[in-house]
Amino acid sequence: MFDVMPARRGSGSLKWDQRPELRPFWVADMDFHSPPEVIEALKKRVEHGVFGYAVPHDGLIESILDYLRKRHKVSSSPDEIVHLGGLVPALSLACRAFAGEDESVLTCTPIYPPFLHVHRDANLSLTTVPYIMSEGTWTFDWAGLEQAVTPSTKIFLLSNPQNPLARVFLEEEIRQLAAFCERHNLILVSDEIHCDLILDEARTPHFTALRLPESYTDRTITLLSPSKTFNIAGMGYAYAVIPDQKLRKRFLAAQGHTLAEINCLGYYSAEAAYRYGEPWRLELLSYLRSNRDLVTEFCREEIGSITIPDIEATYLAWLNFQQTTISHPASFLEKEAQIFLSDGRYFGAEGHARLNFGCSRSHLEEAISGIRQAIEKGA
């Protein structure tokens, strides 16, 4: 099923149509059809033929509460769920809701680029602390964070599992981060969009911020969506779980009239994904594991000079070219191999490129041979 590449060029795809002269391995969507059940649910809703303003229907709410209960062992209620058109708007909203002018946001790098820009929507400043490598694993620089935080810091933005490092943070790390936020009176915004893409869950289980002790509830917002896992990001549906009423009110109040209505197809695709998508998800993870192994072996065993972290989650490989002679890998790969990777500098790290391996094996092999070719030329 995943070996078949859908023809996406000319379909209005950001990934394929932005630079049609290049083979795309950049933006985080996958070159796979969504689960058949999602496609069926969309067809059914389209056949209804009326597309007026929508509200989250009961089936969607039920599927979200079921998902939270089964997957995360969290019992929630409909009023704790804030429906949104995307996670990035939610990050921006959090900045507007929980900090004021002259205050600041804290995050760790490298990081998915919007984390480095949303503070501007609220005229805030941004402080970043690089992740550090400890015993072969990327982790928080606790001393660096203590040094960087100030009384004007109000928000910590977390990506877990981490994009682009593909790390699933341990329960201890999340607890330590929550304690750090409490000590410095920060709101913790936990973006967990990739949490259903954990490649070996027995080894690296996800610890959601929703499972932190109750004492942290009044400072924690968790952002979720089936969008990455089921390849429905273009449908524009995500949600925040905010159990604390006061916090939720502040978050909602910051919306003003800035957000568009969520469309009915977003709601229906999300419901179908959560309700029926589990067998498909398990097959997807198995396919992604093989792709992950292929990229990892290529970098470690064949090339050697490109370093790659252990990819615990996501379909994203963070390639470090700093031991090669190639200083701007993404532009070099564009020029020399006509392949389009995400440039590390947008994530806050030069000398890196992010490779999206959410595609058929044969397409991934094209990326690998492109990198091989570019390395030979750059050597």
Ligand X SMILES: Cc1ncc(COP(=O)(O)O)c(C=O)c1O
Q: Given the rule CB under 6 A, which residues bind ligand X?
A: 28, 86-88, 112, 159, 163, 191, 193, 225, 227, 233, 238
Least Å from the CB of residue 112 to ligand X: 4
**Residue among 206, 204, 208, 236 at smallest CA distance from 222:** 208
The pair of structure tokens assigned to 317 is: 């490989």
- Shorter beta-carbon distance to ligand X: residue 220 or 225: 225
| CA 80 – CA 221 distance, rounded (Å) | 10
Least Å from the CB of residue 88 to ligand X: 3
The pair of structure tokens assigned to 358 is: 């959410």
- Shorter beta-carbon distance to ligand X: residue 263 or 322: 263
Least Å from the CB of residue 206 to ligand X: 14
Least Å from the CB of residue 76 to ligand X: 19
**Residue among 263, 224, 265 at smallest CA distance from 242:** 224
- Shorter beta-carbon distance to ligand X: residue 11 or 147: 11
Least Å from the CB of residue 92 to ligand X: 10
| CA 271 – CA 251 distance, rounded (Å) | 24
- Nearest residue to ligand X, by Cβ distance, number only: 86
- Shorter beta-carbon distance to ligand X: residue 86 or 110: 86
Least Å from the CB of residue 150 to ligand X: 25
Least Å from the CB of residue 111 to ligand X: 8
Q: Are 295 and 317 in contact (CB under 8 A)?
A: yes
Least Å from the CB of residue 270 to ligand X: 11
- Shorter beta-carbon distance to ligand X: residue 220 or 324: 220
The pair of structure tokens assigned to 315 is: 């379909």
- Shorter beta-carbon distance to ligand X: residue 241 or 337: 241
User: Going by C-beta distance under 8 Å and a sequence separation of 6 or more, which residues neighbour residue 22?
Assistant: 334, 338, 339, 340
Beta strand spans in the chain (E): 23-24, 81-84, 104-109, 125-130, 132-134, 137-139, 153-159, 187-191, 220-224, 238-241, 316-320, 339-340, 342-343, 352-356
| Cα distances (Å, whole numbers) of residue 67 to 87, 116, 211, 330 | 18, 30, 14, 38
- Shorter beta-carbon distance to ligand X: residue 91 or 212: 91
Chain-centroid distance, C-alpha 58: 27
The pair of structure tokens assigned to 43 is: 């067809």
- Shorter beta-carbon distance to ligand X: residue 86 or 309: 86
